[in-house]
Chain A
């Protein structure tokens, strides 16, 4: 592609100019934690600069300093060659630095136009601002390919389009330097490709882009240079064209990492989990799982792929007994799961089901509890006869699990909130796996988990499979689904739209399925309660995307 070949030239021309951003010796402490230590960073004008690092490496802190959320304890920030003290985000914007947050900061029931001008109104009368903004948006849309209907209401837009509104917001405020924090976490592969095309256009028009991500393939696909952070320090800055994912992973973790999971063939046994014609509604009574049937056998991993929000959460919650099934049955080990009352999860556990929830902090852990207390969550009935809780037994088992799963710090009395994301996930995994279940359902096993811990978690899941457990895996990370699963089911808008063999399926095909486009070219019949705008918009994106975009990058994750 043209962008790849010109990357070197771009860096050369940029080197002659003053850097868009230069950080010198930035330090930031939070109490005893040294979150940023002596950070030096040069971001060249008109380039895409990636920042990678594990959770807690200090990426977000550094960006927050740049955006004026925090003030550095020491060090210098130079914007376009001039030293600046950035006091708040308004000041950062005035200097041309705009941020696109991981979680969108949009008013859901406002129109695109209203969201764009919010906080940047230039007159007390709204009409004038709006007409000015409308013209401005039109110009931005044509200049950068950022097509969004200015009168659309945010909640009717797809996630990818909402993100475009966030970018428009920053550009409308005159941003020359855009910071994007994990921008693709919520996007389909097609939407991510569209975003990257926008970013390339922005760069070609002279904007500078700082991309924070933990996905190495994105770094390889779009950045000109990449900086690696580890434990608060800047390890190195590399020219993307001259590095490789294994080299970056090693720099991030500080040791060699296997990016691929090693696993043998599956030996499926009898059906342990069977879901028949399941219909599940969300908290507002809207059906999210629509007539889903599948089964999982002992000794196999069935992966459910799909973009976040297509019914995965409701499916997991219904199978694990946390949410009422409207219609259909869930059979565990041949017995239907009864859902009377609000303690269905207890009965599911008694029937041999273990559940690693999608959102460990909201669901799988009580973060203010000590580690040992979370180590018995859901199984506390088994600790002690009579009303008393056998704390000694619970602590002893917690200690064993800490050793077995290498949970750090190895202190069962420590408050759970003080463990890192990866270690919190290990606490949940250890609890659910050590209960010796027949069926393990796992949601987003490595969301927000460091690369080093991902390797460990994947191996544990494979080990469970080889021990003859039936495993249902739900993840929005397509790579994860592909490398772990023995069978892949694709969920779109509450329907299973296809099944694939991970050995043969290619990413383009899966990507299309995830966007609801089946082999005969149609999105499946939408049931009651769907948001029609959602799928048509995705389809629209797809027509704008060339299939070539996918092929280009599928080779990069080796």
Chain B
């Protein structure tokens, strides 16, 4: 018999995450206070920086795009019962796929190039995630370990490919040859002047599509049903005749393909070339995003926006309040990850007790 009374749904999906973010900001505020700065000012700068003006908002959406893809990649694998910690490496390797088609067909109109980049990047990302999936399905190697290690392999491999193969002669920085302007994913500012010089591009719309796609795939298809069965109860999946090995490999490949869109955003849209370490941690933020968003597309979208705002607002804060260093901003971001991800359930039991107490007089006791 269960002693704990589950929380009402709105508390679970809305109140709890909000409280966690508030808690993270309160503690972050104490840190700001301890270096003699005004936390309220700091929050004001952050919000202004993230949403207050067109270019800032554009940057927020650019970061959000990356986080949505990485968050969806982790979420999808999570529904099949796997913890994919490798979107960072999968996105990085996908960059190779994007740059290969882009340089091969350099000069092609973006309307043709954009789908090509999605396909090529997707295939490379899928391949990089498929290998840990295969090792898990056929060899029993734990996916958490392999996906983490594959990030390191990706870093070394890509470092070699970029510096030794792709880097054109006579260029000092570690990057590939550039993609011509006509072939790049167009910036949203070309359609909406609001975004000024910010890097948000058409990939943002692709992210929105991906949110709907993942929802459909997980909750509206037979494949999604089988995936959730495997994730929730592997024994029942076996009983139902669902092939777990096939499921693991397919889901990991799809997960990697989602992570790969980070490369389309950056390589094909923003930088227009493949540069060293372009993923810059977005893959890891995806893990926190998926956690906070409870692996649901709506949650992933909101969590991505929050982290996008934290990234962009943090830049603004460092710029506007010199007393607050970059490291302190990273600390605040880490606090949000800590409270929403790792300690996301800290307040659950106190809240359950609180609600149980409220309900008892009403429940006819």
Binding site for B on A (CB under 8 A): 29-32, 34-35, 56, 60-61, 70, 73, 320-322, 341-349, 355, 357, 362-369, 373, 376-378, 380-381, 383-384, 387-389, 391
Contacts and interface: CB of A to CB of B under 8 A. Distances in A.
B222 A32 contact: no
Contact of B241 (A73, A345, A362): A345
B1 A60 contact: yes
Is the contact region of chain B dominated by helix, strand, or loop, or is it mixed?
helix
Minimum-distance CB pairs A-B, first 3: A346-B241, A31-B5, A345-B241
B11 to A, nearest CB: 14
A554 to B, nearest CB: 34
A387 B222 contact: yes
B363 A345 contact: no
Given A32-B359, A389-B220, A389-B221, A355 B239 contact: yes
A345 B237 CA distance: 9
Contacts of A320: 239
Interface in B219-249: 220-226, 228-229, 232-233, 235-236, 238-246
B363 A32 contact: yes
Nearest to B137: A342
A31 B241 contact: no
A345 B244 contact: no
Given A347-B241, A366-B232, A30 B222 contact: no
A366 B360 contact: no
A75 to B, nearest CB: 14
- Of the candidates A34, A348, A387, the one having the most CB atoms from chain B within 10 angstroms of its own CB is A387
A272 to B, nearest CB: 20
A207 B176 CA distance: 84
B356 interface: yes
B232 to A, nearest CB: 5
A364 B241 contact: no
B3 A70 contact: yes
Contacts of B5: 30-32
Nearest to B241: A346
A31 B1 CA distance: 12
Contacts of A31: 5, 356, 359-360, 363
Given A60-B1, A381-B222, A343 B243 contact: yes
A411 to B, nearest CB: 16
B236 A387 contact: no
21 contacts: A29-B363, A30-B5, A31-B356, A31-B363, A345-B238, A345-B239, A346-B243, A357-B239, A362-B233, A363-B238, A364-B236, A366-B232, A369-B229, A369-B232, A373-B225, A377-B229, A380-B222, A387-B221, A388-B221, A389-B220, A391-B220
A368 B6 CA distance: 13
Contact of B1 (A32, A35, A342, A381): A35
Nearest to B362: A32
A73 B357 CA distance: 13
B1 A345 contact: no
A30 B3 CA distance: 6
A32 B5 CA distance: 9
- Of the candidates A60, A357, A380, A387, the one having the most CB atoms from chain B within 10 angstroms of its own CB is A380
Contacts of B360: 29, 31
Contact of A344 (B220, B222, B235, B241): B241
Contact of A389 (B224, B233, B235, B365): B224
B241 A343 contact: yes
Contact of B239 (A347, A363, A373): A363
A384 B220 CA distance: 11
Given A380-B240, A389-B224, 8 more contacts: A32-B365, A342-B244, A363-B236, A364-B236, A366-B228, A378-B240, A381-B222, A383-B222
Nearest to A70: B3
A371 B360 CA distance: 27
Interface string B303-335: 000000000000000000000000000000000
A70 B363 CA distance: 20
B359 A384 contact: no
Contacts of A363: 235-236, 238-239
Contacts of B239: 320, 322, 345, 355, 357, 363-364, 377-378
Nearest to A61: B1
A357 B222 CA distance: 23
B170 interface: no
A73 B360 CA distance: 12
Given A34-B365, A61-B1, A388-B222, A346 B242 contact: yes
A366 B243 CA distance: 16
Contacts of B365: 29, 32, 34, 73
A388 B216 CA distance: 9
